[in-house]
Amino acid sequence: MLADVGVSEDSPLVVVAGSFTVNADQSADRASQAMLRSALNNPGRGLVVVRHDEVVAVMPVDPTGEERTLARIRAGVASLSGRGVFPSVGVSSVRRGFLDVPEAYEEARLARRSLRGRAGVQSLSTMSTLDYLVQTHDRTARRLVRPEVRAFVQEDLASGGTFVETLRQYVACDLNAKLAAMALHVHANTVYYRLERIAERTGCDVRRVEELIDLLLAVSLVSGSSD
């Protein structure tokens, strides 16, 4: 049966795991799951099933490469938005053969968690090392975040996340405040001011790479924490 859908002991494949924000209307959940299953289904190319509260698919990778497979998954998920269905979908890295399916499934769930309930598709292979480490963190890692950093992040997120977004853009722009200002559509002086405030509140020097990496990791840990 697996061979008939293009999945063999040594063929490249990905596992997809999709779910929805908890809905009090169970019939609506089932209908959404059925639509997601249909959107991911490609007759003769993999298996798609509803498993408990999620939709799981085992898909052979397109001969032209992983990007083609991801593009088809994204297109299928995007097509549901017009029907009012917005799933969170994670995709594993490319694995070799069906014996890797259990590990690939855990990768897909980890990628989905990185969306933090937002709709869309996240592939493990496109996640940064930082994002991966944050998703695999434990309670000890969160406890290592200094209280002043935790308080700063929590307060900022509660008021819109302006400083956290500025910090992330600053890093994304290779520590170039002027480029970060352009990305944020604000004046460069505004970015400089915000960076100074971040340094004051957290005690971190945002001009030092080591401290900046530590701060960014702490921000990601606190932002993604359910505690």
Model-level pTM? 0.66
**Predicted pLDDT at 227:** 43
Whether 105 and 201 share a structural domain: no
Q: Give the total number of structural domains in the chain.
A: 2
| Domain end among 71, 93, 127 | 127
126 close to 115: Cβ distance less than 8 angstroms: no
Q: Tell me the CATH number at 195.
A: 1.10.10.2840
Return the pLDDT at 225. 56
pLDDT confidence of residue 15: 95
Residue 188 falls inside a structural domain: yes
Question: Do 150 and 209 fall within a single domain?
Answer: yes
User: Domain range spanning residue 101?
Assistant: 3-127
The verdict on 112 and 205 lying in the same domain is no
Per-residue model confidence (pLDDT) at position 27: 57
Give the pLDDT of residue 18. 94
Query: Per-residue pLDDT for the chain (227 aa), expressed as one digit of tens each?
Result: 778 888 888 889 999 999 987 554 555 588 899 999 999 998 778 899 998 889 999 999 888 888 999 999 999 999 999 989 999 999 999 998 888 999 999 999 989 988 878 899 999 988 876 677 666 665 666 677 888 888 998 899 899 999 999 998 998 898 899 999 999 999 999 999 999 999 999 998 888 888 888 888 888 778 765 44
Please give the full DSSP string across the chain, using - where no structure is assigned.
-TGGGT--SS-EEEEEEEE----S-HHHHHHHHHHHHHHH--TTS-EEEEETTEEEEEEEPPTT-HHHHHHHHHHHHHTTGGGT---EEEEPPPEESGGGHHHHHHHHHHHHHTTTT-SEEEEGGGS-HHHHHHHT--HHHHHTS-HHHHHHHHHHHHTT-HHHHHHHHHHHTTT-HHHHHHHHTS-HHHHHHHHHHHHHHH---TTSHHHHHHHHHHHHHHHT---
104 and 188 together in one domain: no
